Amino acid sequence: MSLVIREHARARLITDGPDPRRIPVELRCDPGDPRTVQIGLPGGVDWAFGRDLLEKGLRSPVTRGDIRVWPCGRAQLILELHSADGVAVFQFDRAPLIRFLRRVHDQFGSSAGTGGSKGTGRAASGAGTGGRVRTRTDAVSETPAGAPAPAASTTRT
């Protein structure tokens, strides 16, 4: 019986508008490929990339393929996803990302020396996006202001 590590978090979708929109996201790591993390976005769009990219991006700017990750101050991280449809920029609080990576490390071990099996980012299940992240604002559901983030979960598969 395998455990899929899941962490629910909130991200801010950075747009041209005056205020970023808060959206729910799900971070996942499957024991079948523990060197890869997936970020589930609203609308059924998942992006998968090497866990080491997220780990390195917590400390310094890193780019691999169509994904850029960099720290933003001491408490946030920026994730920038590029596709033929455009660019989507998300701002995360670091705490849920660190908690997720710690749980993944405790369950599956270090990603050091793996080279990140999924070197370039990719849309894992683009549900009508042609394998690309949706960047239209109507593709992202709005989260009510002040709504608490769901708790982390572990699913047995």
- Token pair in block for residue 27: 């971070």
Q: What is the pLDDT of residue 151?
A: 37
What is the model's pLDDT at position 110?
A: 78
Q: Are 157 and 10 in contact (CB under 8 A)?
A: no
How far is 84 from 29, CA to CA, in rounded Å?
26
If you compute the radius of gyration of the chain from its CA atoms, what whole number of angstroms results?
Answer: 15
Residue spans of the domains in the chain: they are 1-111
* Cβ pair 74, 18 in contact under 8 A: no
What is the greatest pairwise CA distance in the chain?
47
Q: What's the CA gap between 85 and 49, in Å, rounded?
A: 19
- The pLDDT assigned to 62 comes to 98
**Does domain 1-111 match CATH 1.10.1060.10?**
no
pLDDT score of 92: 97
Q: Are 5 and 34 in contact (CB under 8 A)?
A: no
| pLDDT at site 140 | 33
pLDDT digit of tens for each residue in the chain (157 aa)?
568 999 999 999 998 888 889 999 999 999 999 999 999 999 999 999 999 999 999 999 999 999 999 999 999 999 999 999 899 999 999 999 999 999 999 998 876 544 443 434 444 433 333 333 333 323 333 333 333 333 333 444 3
Environment class of residue 112 by beta-carbon count within 10 Å: exposed (0-12), middle (13-18) or buried (19+)?
exposed
